[in-house]
């Protein structure tokens, strides 16, 4: 289900406000986490808690105390560096000692479960080398790790790694969910994410800084009426298919048909192809002929190339009033042709741009690594610069316009295959053809694409070998299984 995500600044504000009102959030967090662990791990489990001097360490000490009092064999490995413990953590440390607990200076690998409470959401520097070496040692031992609030070394806002991070099997995150758990490196490091709101009343939460998008009902625009016909569901025009790249627009067209577009025409720049034998419902023509025919929605870019003809076609579409999705070479042309960028910013209906990180870097004129260091910032910068709706693809795809941002809550590594971007463009365009607003279509299209891969992975657990063609049918299954709102 779609829910709010909170940046660190907002989370800290909620926390400070509640503590000022008398809420003992560290007590609640430690008890909630200890109860969750005790319900899943037997008493003979050997537990070690990694603790730092910040408030996250206080959470860990509270967990350690409750587990010890519950009969578990618990050790605390305390890494303070040169920092003094925060006041709440000093109090938690005192209670740990009163319960008969001690602190270990040397690391002992004889553990079954590691509870990570070293660094919380306030980490603003790379982890020290001694901690990095410890993380390497823990991961080599294959001990199960439970992270409190966020895996240590992971940036809570961006999902970037601060030098080195510790992979968690499960993350028990407190107060509200964090963007960094769901994009960039976050999904690989956080594992399963469980949210504990610590009994903070709903009225104390401001609107989220963004959302994790996981719809559970069919969008109302897609609910079909008996008294309808193919024209009711839009005519989509796709431009692409330079010599040697015919497959890209065909994939996009097949996806659009199977996700509900009423009619799909494909304009090919390469040598003429009379029919798609896999999807003969597609209407094929030379690319130059399509702009002269009426279309409700356009998709340009799959296999388009960067020829003068391609430039002219993109300029033509950017200047037209119909909604437009730009992908692949359409984006590369936008990055290299100043006039195309100007046309994009002046559109009455914002175009939907669907870059992967390298394409986003070209559009921004920066290294790809800079895009990945803060995917949310990069997507929002693109939205402002091009006055467009942005779909920044990757682990935790970001969808945003100038005012609203979300992270997609579906998908897995099986989507790392050729052609997946082509069918995503086709899916988004198909939803727009059926009446969805561009931003809503972008969010829903990305979700359906990822959820199709998730459905496939239920049959193929290792996530190896999913093709773009297969993904189309799985995405259609997901769409048709959504109940009406």
Whether 351 contacts 326, CB under 8 Å: yes
Q: Known binder of ligand: residue 120? A: yes
Q: Known binder of ligand: residue 152? A: yes
Q: What sign does the dihedral 441-443-447-449 (CA atoms) show?
A: positive
What torsion, rounded to 10 degrees, do the Cα atoms 396, 400, 405, 411 define?
A: -20
Q: Known binder of ligand: residue 422? A: yes
Pairing of strands 398-400, 405-408: antiparallel
Q: Known binder of ligand: residue 188? A: no
The arrangement of strands across the sheet holding 263-268 comes to 3-5, 210-213, 405-408, 398-400, 389-392, 352-353, 324-326, 297-300, 235-240, 263-268, 283-286
Q: Known binder of ligand: residue 266? A: no
Q: Known binder of ligand: residue 104? A: no
Q: Known binder of ligand: residue 55? A: yes
Tokens of 294: 């009426």
Distance CA 287, CA 248 (A): 14
Q: Known binder of ligand: residue 421? A: yes
Tokens of 360: 């986003």
Q: Known binder of ligand: residue 7? A: no
Q: Known binder of ligand: residue 125? A: yes
Distance CA 318, CA 227 (A): 34
Q: Known binder of ligand: residue 56? A: yes
Q: Known binder of ligand: residue 395? A: yes
Q: Known binder of ligand: residue 59? A: yes
Q: Known binder of ligand: residue 149? A: yes
Residues 6+ apart with CB under 8 A from 183: 158, 159, 375, 376, 394, 395, 396, 397, 398, 407
Q: Known binder of ligand: residue 237? A: no
Whether 276 contacts 305, CB under 8 Å: no
Q: Known binder of ligand: residue 80? A: no
Distance CA 332, CA 340 (A): 11
Q: Known binder of ligand: residue 126? A: yes
Q: Known binder of ligand: residue 124? A: yes
Collapsing DSSP to helix, strand or coil, 188 comes out as helix
Q: Known binder of ligand: residue 123? A: yes
CA distances from 370 to 5, 307, 388 (A): 22, 29, 20
Annotated binding residues for AMP, as ranges?
Answer: 393-397, 421
Annotated binding residues for (6S)-NADPHX, as ranges?
Answer: 55-59, 120-126, 149, 248, 303, 356, 422
Annotated binding residues for K(+), as ranges?
Answer: 56, 116, 152
Annotated binding residues, as ranges?
Answer: 55-59, 116, 120-126, 149, 152, 248, 303, 356, 393-397, 421-422
């Amino acid at each position: 289900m779609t829910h709010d995500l909170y940046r660190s600044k907002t989370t800290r504000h909620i926390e400070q406000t509640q503590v000022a009102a008398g809420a003992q959030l560290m007590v609640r967090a430690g008890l909630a986490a200890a109860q969750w662990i005790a319900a899943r791990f037997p008493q003979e489990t050997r537990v070690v808690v990694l603790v730092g001097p910040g408030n996250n360490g206080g959470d860990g000490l509270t967990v350690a105390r409750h587990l010890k009092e519950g009969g578990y064999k618990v050790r605390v490995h305390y890494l303070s560096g040169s920092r003094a413990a925060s006041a709440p953590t000093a109090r938690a440390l005192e209670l740990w000692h009163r319960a008969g607990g001690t602190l270990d200076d040397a690391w002992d690998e004889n553990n079954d479960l590691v509870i990570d409470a070293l660094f919380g959401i306030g980490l603003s520097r790379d982890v020290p080398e001694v901690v990095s070496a410890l993380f390497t040692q823990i991961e080599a031992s294959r001990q199960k790790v439970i992270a409190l609030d966020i895996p240590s070394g992971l940036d809570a806002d961006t999902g970037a790694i601060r030098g080195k991070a510790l992979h968690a099997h499960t993350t028990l995150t407190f107060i509200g969910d964090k963007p960094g758990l769901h994009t960039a490196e976050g999904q690989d490091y956080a594992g399963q994410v469980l949210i504990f709101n610590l009994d903070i009343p709903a009225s104390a939460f401001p609107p989220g800084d963004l959302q994790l998008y996981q719809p559970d009902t069919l969008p109302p625009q897609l609910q079909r009426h008996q008294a309808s016909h193919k024209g009711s569901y839009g005519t989509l025009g796709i431009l692409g298919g330079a010599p040697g790249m015919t497959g890209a627009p065909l994939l996009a067209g097949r996806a659009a048909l199977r996700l509900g577009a009423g009619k799909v025409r494909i304009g090919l720049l390469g040598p003429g192809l009379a029919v798609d034998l896999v999807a003969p419902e597609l209407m094929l023509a030379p690319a130059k002929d399509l702009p002269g025919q009426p279309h409700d929605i356009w998709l340009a870019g799959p296999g388009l190339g960067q020829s003068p003809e391609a430039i002219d076609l993109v300029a033509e579409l950017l200047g037209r009033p119909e909604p437009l999705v730009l992908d692949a070479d359409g984006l590369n042309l936008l990055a290299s042709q100043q006039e195309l960028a100007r046309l994009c910013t002046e559109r009455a209906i914002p175009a939907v741009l669907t870059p992967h990180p390298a394409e986003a870097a070209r559009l921004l004129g920066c290294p790809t690594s800079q895009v990945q260091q803060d995917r949310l910032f990069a997507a929002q910068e693109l939205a402002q610069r091009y006055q467009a709706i942005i779909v920044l693809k990757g682990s935790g795809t970001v969808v945003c316009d100038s005012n609203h941002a979300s992270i997609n809550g579906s998908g897995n590594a099986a989507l790392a295959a050729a052609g997946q971007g082509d069918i995503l463009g086709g899916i988004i365009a198909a939803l727009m053809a059926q009446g969805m607003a561009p931003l809503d279509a972008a969010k829903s299209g990305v979700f359906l694409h990822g959820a199709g891969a998730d459905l496939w992975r239920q049959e193929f657990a290792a996530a190896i070998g999913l093709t773009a063609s297969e993904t189309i049918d799985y995405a259609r299954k997901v769409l048709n299984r959504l109940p009406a709102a």
